[in-house]
Structure 1
Amino acid sequence: MRIGLLTEGGYPHVSGDARLWCDRLVRGLGRHEFEIYALSRSERQEAEGWIPLPPQVSRVRTAPLWTAGDDGVAYGRRARRQFAEAYEELAAAFCAAPEPGAPQSASGPVGPEEDRFGNALYALAELARDEGGLVGALRSETAVRALERACRAPGAIRAARTARVPDLLDVAAHVERALRPLSLDWYEDDGLGSVDLCHATTGGAAALPGLLAGHFAGVPLLVTEYGVHLRAHYLGTSGGGPSAVRALLASFQRRLASEVYRRAVCITPGNTHARRWQERCGADRDKLRTVYPGMEASRFTEVGESADCGDPHTLVWVGRVEPAKDLISLLHAFAEIRKEDPKARLRIIGSAADAEGEAYLGHCRALAAQLFPDEAEGVHAVGDNPVSFEEIGGPEVPDRAEAYAAGAVVVLSSVVEGFPISLVEAMFCGRATVSTDVGAVVEVIGGTGLVVPPRNPRALAEACLAMLRDPERRERLGAAARARAQELFTVEQNVAAFHGIYLEIVSRAPVRRVLVDDAGEPLPFGVPAEAHLPGRWTELRHLAGKPRWAWAPGRAVAPVRAAGPFQEPVPATEGAL
C-alpha cells in the first residue's frame, strides 16, 4: 500500500522531533511504499539536510512553516467576500467560550462550535485551492477585523475581550502559521489524493494535510501522538505573554485538536497519559489504540546481560538538563542521602540543549558546591567528590549504555515528563530505578521500580536509600524491568502494531484509483476482486456519524453509518445502488 507520512519539524530532516521512530517505522515496513510530506520549522533545519532514506520512500515533499510574507495571491471581489465569511466563522468558533456542561468527548454529540470550526476550516481550504493560496489573506486587515469582532461578541472568552490591536495581530500571525498547510498544492491526484492512507506523526499543523486529503479525496487519516500536541502548546505558552493572546491561541489549538480527533479513523497515543489527554480534548475512545514507542534495545544488550551491576554506592541521572528535570530536588535529596550513607555518590550525566538549560546547569553546579562545601573543589570531575557533572561522549562515559552502567540505581526526578525515554533505556540495561510520579512513568515502570511524588526531596531520598541498602532487591527489580522493556518497548513491537493498523484501516477504505502500467494502460487485475464488493471492502469510514458516498471503479456504494473505526460496517442497501 501507499502511505503518506505527514511530519512537522522532524523526519526526514537530520534534526527534529520523531526522527528516529519514523525512520525505524519506514525501514521496518519495507513492503509498503512511503511518500513523505514534511513541514520544517526553521531555515537551519532545512540547511542541515535529510538523513539517508530507504528505497521504499518514493517521494519527499517539504514546505516551510518558518517563512513569513505575502504569497502574492490577489483575490477578486467574490473571493474576498468568501474569505471574509469563512474566516469570520472560524474566528467566532474559537473565540467563543465553552458552554457550561458541554461534552468533553467526541463520543457525545458534536457541539455547534466544533462543527462551525470544521466547516469554516474546509471552506478556507477550498478557497485556497481555487485561488492559489491564503497566506496574505490570513494576515490581512480583514482577518484582524474579524478577530476583533469575534472577541467583542457576546459569549466570547473573557480574556479575549481585553485584546488590543497588537494582541490581535499576534493571534492572526500565529493562526496563519498554523493554517499554512491549507495553501499547499499537496492534495491533487498526483499527491496525497493518490495515497491509500495518511499517517500524521503528530497533531496540529502536521495533521492538517491529512484532514484536507480526507476532505478532498476521501483518504483515511491515522494520527500518532507520543507527545500530545495540545499539551505541548499549553506548556510552551505557560511562561507568560498577554493573557488574551494565550487564551485565544489555546482555544484555537483546542478546536483544531478536536477536529483532528473527530476526523481521524484511528488515533494511536504512545501511553495512557497521552490517551487521557486526547480523550479530554475530544477523542472518541473507540478510535484509540495505545502503541508504545519502539526503541533500539540492542544498544543496551551488553550492559543488560552483564553480571556487573555497577558501583553499589552510586546513583545515576541521565538526560537533557533543563528545569523540568528538577535536578534541584535531586541535589537536596542527595544531601539527605549522604547523611545516612557517606559512601554514596551521584553522577549527573547529560548536557543542556539551549541557553535556558545552560543557565539551569550553572545553577545546579552552584547548588552542589553550596550543599557540599568541604568537597566543592573540583566538583565537576569524577573522583572523590560526591556529585559529578558529566557529558556523554567523554572517556568516562563514551555512550548512553555506559552511562547507565556507571551506577547501581538510576534516578528520574522530573516534574514534567511525557514518555520517559531515559527510564526505558535504564530498564533495558537491567537497572533498578527510582522515579517521580509524572507523565507515563507509572505505566512504563509497571511495578519494577520505586515511584515517589514529584518535588519531594525527602521521599526521593528515602526511596534511593532503600535501593542502595538492598542489593538483592535491586537485582530482582532490575531483571523484571529488563524483561518488561523487552516485551513492550522494542522497535519490533512498534512496527508490528502499525503494520496491523495500516491493514485494518485500508481494508475498510474504498478503492479510489485505477492502476495502470508503464504505457498508461489499465491493469485489469491490479486491484483485488474483493475490493469491488459492496460493504466491507469499498465502504469509506464515516466521520462524526455522517454518511458519505464512497466510489469504487465502475459503481457507487450507498452511504452507511459506523459507530467506530474498527467495527463491522453496515452493508449497502440494494435499492441504493
Structure 2
Amino acid sequence: MVTEGTYPFVVGGVSSWCDQLVGGLSDVDWILLPIVGGDTLRKRIFHIPPNVRLMKSLELWSDSRIRTVGARSSSRTRRDDLPGELLRGLLAWDANPATLKDPLLWCRQNPTAIRHSFRASVGWDSFLAALEELRVESVPDAHAMPEMDIPEASELYQTLYWVARCGAMPLPKTDVMHLTAAGWASLPAIAEKADRGTPVLLTEHGLYVREAYLGAMSTNATPGRRFITSRLARGLTRTAYAVADLIAPVTPAHTQWERAFDVNPDKIRTIPNGVRNPDEPTPLPRHDVVVSVGRIDPLKDVHTLLRVAEAVLKERPNTQFLHYGPIGEAQEEYARSVQMVYRSLNLGPRFRFMGSTEEPERALRAADVVLMTSISEGLPMTLLEAMSEARPIVSTGVGGVADVIHGCGLTTQPGDVHGLANAVCTLLEFPDMAEEMGIRGFNRVKRKYTARRHLDAYREALWDVSRLGAPTRAGTAVDRREVVA
C-alpha cells in the first residue's frame, strides 16, 4: 500500500480508512510505503498491525541519499534527455502516460545516475527544450503557459528530479500494488509494473486533480507556480489512471471525472467506505450542540464553518459548537487565518477548538447536529460515523455526500453560509425531525456501509487484481503473497 501524507503519520479520514483496511484484512500481508514531504522526523499516530511491514518513508524534497538496492549501473551512466522526457510526459496537455514507462524504468535500474543526469548541462538543455514546447503548445481547452522566471523554472526542474527519485524507489516483489491516491504514488507504480508486471489497484478518496485545482485557485502563488501545480497534478492523475488495472472510487460521483480522463468504464469498480455499526441508535442529547470533525485545512473550509456558527448564534445564542481536528500538514498559515476569522467574529466560548480526538464516536455522540463545510470530499468517514451514531447531518453536497445522506440530513452548496446556518437552525428547532433523520442514517449504514461489507469488497478486489500479475522480465513468476499497500 502506497500512502501520500496520511497513514500512519497523520490523523484523518483516509488514515482511518487505511488502518481499518490493513487491520481488517489480517489474512493479507501488507507492505506499507508512505510518501511524505521533507525529512522531518515523524511520529507514528497509528499502531501497526502484525501483518503490516512498514518501509522507510519516501521523503520528497529531503536531503536523504538515494537507495541503491538492485542498482545495475554506475553513477557515470547518464540519460541526457531524462528531464525533458519527464516534463513532456507529465506536463504536456496531450501527453501519453505510457511515454513515462521507459524513463522511470531506467531510473529504477540506474538510481545513482539520476543526479548525474540532472546535474549535466545537457540535462538542463533538454528541460529547456521541453519547456519551450510547453510554452508554444496551443490547446483550445487549456490555458497557455505563463511566463516563468528562473526561480520558477528551477523549482520545476527540482520537482522533476523528485519524480525521477520516486520512480527509482526499490520495492519488494508483491502480488499487488495498492495506491491510495492518484498522485505521486503512480510513479513507483509505473516503474514497478514495467519492471515486474505487478498489477495495480487504485483507490480514489478525494479527487487528487480536482483538489489540486482548488488549491491552485485559492493560493497567492504566482501564475507560473499555479500552472506547475495544476499541470503536474493532472499529469500524475493521468499516469495513475493509466497504470491502474482496477480503479476503486469510494463514490459513483468520482466516475464522471475518471471517464473524462478516458478511463475505460470496465476497470472502474465503486467500493464505498464502511464503518463499525452499533447495535442500537442512541437518542439525541437535545442540548443544542453542533459538532464538526476535520483537520484545519482549506479543503475543509473552516472559514465558512466559523461564519455559519456566527449566523446560527444570532438566532440561537445558546448553541455550542465543538470542532475536533488537528492542523493539516503544512497548513500553519491557514490555521493562523482561521484564528483571525474566529477572533473577528467574536465567537468566544460558544465555538471551541477541541484538537484531535482518539474517540470520534464519543465526540459525535455528544452532537445534536453534525456539520461539515468542505469544498471537496469523496465519501467522508466522519459522516458515516455520524450516521452510525444516529446523528443528523448538515453538509455541503460535495463528492458522494448528497447521495449518501439523502433523507438523513440537509445539504447545500459549498460556501453557502446562509443555507448551512438555516439548515442547522432547522434541525435544532425541530429535534423530533432531526432524530428521525438520525435513525434513518443509522439504518442506512447498517444496510449499506458496514465495515464488513467494505472489507469483503476489498478482499475480492485484491484477489481479482492479483490474478492479472505478469511474469517478471526474466520470465519467472513472482512469488505472490504480499501487497504493497
Q: TM-score interval w.r.t. the shorter chain? A: 0.7 to 0.9
SS at match of 1:455: coil
Bigger Cα Rg: 1
CA distance in 2, matches of 1:331, 1:126: 50
- The equivalent of 1:310 in structure 2 is 285
Which one of 4, 7, 32 corresponds to residue 3 of structure 2? 7
Contact 1:65–1:177 (8 Å) recurs in 2? yes
**Preserved CA contact (<8 Å) 2:408 2:440:** yes
Residue 263 of structure 1 and its aligned partner are, at CA, apart by 2.3
The match for 2:361 among 389, 401, 409 is 401
1:433 is aligned to 2:393? yes
CA distance in 1, matches of 2:91, 2:40: 34
Q: Give 1:32-71 correspondences, 5 Å limit.
A: 32-46=28-42, 48-49=43-44, 51-57=46-52, 60=55, 62-68=57-63
1:175-226 CA distance string (max 9 Å, x none): 222331222333xxxx23xx22221222222232222221111111111121
Aligned to 1:255: 235
User: What's the counterpart of residue 201 of structure 2?
Assistant: 222
Amino acid at match of 1:123: P
Paired residue secondary structure (2:177) = strand
CA contact (8 A) 1:433 1:450 kept: yes
Give the Cα separation in 1 of the matches to 2:55 and 2:304. Answer: 45
**Partners in 1 of 2:381 and 2:12 — Cα distance?**
16
CA-to-aligned-CA distance 1:341-379 (integer Å, 9 cap, x gap): 55651323235515335423423432442xxxxxx7xx3
Query: Do structure 1's residue 446 and structure 2's residue 406 form an aligned pair?
Result: yes
Write the distance in 1 (CA, Å) between the matches of 2:194 and 2:54: 22
The normalised TM-score by structure 1 is: 0.70
Matched, 1:507 2:467: yes
Cα distance in 1 between the residues matched to 2:306 and 2:163: 40
| AA of the residue aligned to 2:412 | V
Name 2:320's counterpart in structure 1: 346
Equivalence for 1:162: 147
Q: Please give the residue correspondences for 1:96-175 in structure 2 after superposition, counting only pairs within 5 Å.
A: 96-98=92-94, 113-114=95-96, 117-126=97-106, 128-130=108-110, 132-138=112-118, 140-153=120-133, 155-156=136-137, 159-160=144-145, 162-175=147-160
8 A contact 2:74–2:113 mirrored in 1: no
Is the contact between residue 171 and residue 248 of structure 1 (CA under 8 Å) also seen in structure 2? yes
CA distance in 2, matches of 1:15, 1:468: 30
Q: 2:273 aligned with 1:293, yes or no? A: yes
**For residue 414 of structure 1, what is the aligned residue in structure 2?**
374
RMSD: 3.5
* 1:277 positional shift: 2.9
If asked which structure has higher relative contact order (CA below 8 Å, sep 6+), I would say 2
Does the 8 A contact of 1:293 with 1:491 survive in 2?
yes
Aligned-pair CA distance for 1:266 = 0.3
Code of the residue aligned with 1:211 in structure 2: it is: I
Equivalent positions of 1:260-299 (< 5 A) are 260-297=240-277
Structure-2 change in CA distance of 1:321 and 1:14 (3 Å):
closer
Aligned twin of 2:433? 473
Read off the aligned partner of 1:355 and give its amino acid letter: E
Deviations 1:550-570 (A, max 9, x none): 9677xxxxxxxxxxxxxxxxx
**Distance across 2 between alignment mates of 1:271 and 1:355:** 31
Q: What's the secondary structure of 2:352's corresponding residue?
A: strand
Aligned mates of 2:335, 2:232 — CA distance in 1: 33
Distance (whole Å) between structure 2 residues aligned to residue 131 and residue 343 of structure 1: 62
Residue-by-residue CA offset, 1:449-481 (whole Å, 9 max, x unaligned): 111223333323332333233333212211111
Give the conservation status (yes or no) of the 8 Å contact 2:33–2:56. Answer: yes
Alignment correspondent of 1:391: 354
Aligned-pair distance for 1:159? 4.4
Change (3 A) 1:232 1:550: farther
Q: Which residue of 2 aligns with 1:210?
A: 189
Measure the CA separation in 2 of the matches of 1:50 and 1:473: 38
C-alpha separation in 2, matches of 1:408 and 1:6: 37
> Which residue is 1:183 aligned to?
168
Could you tell me how far apart the structure 2 residues matched to 1:57 and 1:352 are? 26
User: SS in structure 2 opposite 1:278?
Assistant: helix
Aligned to 2:185, what secondary structure does the other structure show?
helix
The 1:550/1:70 distance shift into structure 2, 3 A limit, reads closer
Pairwise mapping of residues 537-548 of structure 1 onto structure 2 (< 5 A)? none
In structure 2, stretches of 5+ residues that fail to align are 478-485
Partner of residue 363, structure 1: 340
Q: 1:74 to 1:226 in 2, by over 3 A?
A: same
- Indicate conservation of the 8 Å contact 2:384/2:445, yes or no: yes
Q: Is the 8 A contact 1:7 1:200 kept in 2?
A: yes
Contact 1:424 1:485 in 2 (8 A): yes
Q: Which amino acid aligns with 2:114?
A: L
Q: CA deviation at 1:327?
A: 4.9
1:317 partner amino acid: S
Q: CA 1:139–1:199 in 2, change beyond 3 Å: closer, same or farther?
A: farther
Q: Deviations over 1:108-144 (max 9, x none)?
A: xxxxx31xx5324423422540464414423554333
Counterpart AA for 1:294? G
Q: Distance in 2 between matches of 1:61 and 1:331?
A: 39
Partners of 2:380 and 2:119 in 1: how far apart? 39
Shift of 1:286: 1.6
Q: Which AA in structure 2 matches 1:347?
A: F
Q: TM (normalized to structure 2)?
A: 0.82
Partners of 1:13 and 1:45 within 8 A in 2: no
Q: 1:390-420 deviations in whole A, cap 9, x for unaligned?
A: 4168xxx994334333342222233344433
Q: Which of the numbers 223, 231, 236 marks the counterpart of 2:210?
A: 231
> Is contact 1:94–1:251 with CA below 8 Å preserved after alignment?
yes
Distance 1:52 1:413, change over 3 A: closer
CA contact (8 A) 1:197 1:220 kept: yes
Q: 1:405, 1:68 → 2: CA distance?
A: 45
Corresponding letter in the other structure for 1:363: M
Structure 1 counterpart of 2:342, which letter?
R
For residue 295 of structure 2, the aligned residue among 320, 326, 343 is 320
Contact 1:315 1:344 in 2 (8 A): no
- Tell me the residue number matched to 2:15: 19
Q: Cα–Cα, structure 1 residues 142 and 275, in superposed 2: closer, same or farther, change >3 Å?
A: farther
- After superposition, the C-alpha distances for 1:514-552 in whole angstroms (9 at most, x for unaligned) are xxxxxxxxxxxxxxxxxxxxxxxxxxxxxxxxxxx9967
Deviation at 1:497?
Answer: 0.9
Taking a change above 3 Å as real, the CA distance of residues 457 and 64 of structure 1, as seen in their structure-2 partners, is closer
Residues 335, 19 of structure 1: CA spacing in aligned structure 2 closer, same or farther, 3 A cutoff? Answer: closer
Q: CA deviation at 1:330?
A: 4.8
**Alpha-carbon separation, structure 1, partners of 2:105 and 2:130:** 21
Partner of 1:482: 442
**SS of match in other structure, 2:40:** helix
Q: What is the letter of the counterpart of residue 265 of structure 1?
A: D
**Could you tell me which amino acid in structure 2 is paired with residue 171 of structure 1?**
L
The percent of aligned pairs where both chains have the same amino acid is: 23
Partner SS state of residue 3, structure 2: strand
Equivalent runs, 1:514-553 vs 2, <5 Å: none
Please tell me the residue identity of whatever aligns with 1:348: L
Query: Residues of 1 paired with 2:13 and 2:408: CA distance?
Result: 29
